[in-house]
Amino acid sequence: MKKLYTLILAAGLGKRMKSDLPKVIHKIDDKELVKYVIDQAKKTGSDEIWLVTGHKGEMVREATKDLNVNYVEQKEQLGTGHAVMQAEKALEGKKGNVLILCGDVPLLRPETLISLRDYHTASQCVATVLTTEFEDPFGYGRIIKNASGNILKIVEEKDASDNEKKIKEINSGVYVIDKEELFESLKHISSDNASREYYLTDVIGILTSQNKKVGTYLVKDNTEIQGINTLEQLQQAESIIRSRR
């Protein structure tokens, strides 16, 4: 099996958490959000785990220093694509797949990620996007597919047309992508969009435009992919984690 390098995006400010702490070190049951994600990565069989830190990154590093993880820094928060770019040098010369996780998504079950990894390998895709469906998908990037059901691209909420906004299948922000294809594609993304950011999602459109095989893997339980942006969502996630015990 190919090596698996996990990147955990952990640079966010967390403005809506009403706190000066980096978002990923807010706690559920006295355990930082990012530690739940590190556990996910380890149980998926990651060979190396890299945290992309930013806002008050020293606090994130201090909280995770005993967990056998590595760090790269995103000095400016210019989007998810820009965050991943920061790891290119760290992974130079290495071959395998990159699993991209979000440091504020603590509810993903390891078995979901193992199934994603296995599907990616079995289907011989260069990239696989973890997706789910919401009756009200507001705020999420929409999965745009062709008539055959193959993914074409991901369109962010701010850039979506009225028709695209009706699509219920959304991007979870979790991917498995061939390392070399990932960093080659990142060279071609731009910040010409409504947020003026470098979107990681644009990598998918670049790969499909080159007729590379890109897949989607649907997780039925959409609570697994819900991120933490507010104190209310933190409490909801805590309830879900406790209900699983």
Provide the annotated active-site residues.
16
Tokens found for residue 179 = 């390392």
SS3 label, residue 71: strand
Inter-residue contact 99 to 46 (CB < 8 Å):
yes
Closest Cα to residue 99, out of 133, 124, 128? 128
CA dihedral over 32, 33, 35, 39, signed as positive or negative? positive
The torsion angles phi and psi of 135, rounded to 5 degrees, stand at: -60, -40
Residue 150: other Cβ atoms inside 10 A: 12
Distance CA 138, CA 167 (A): 10
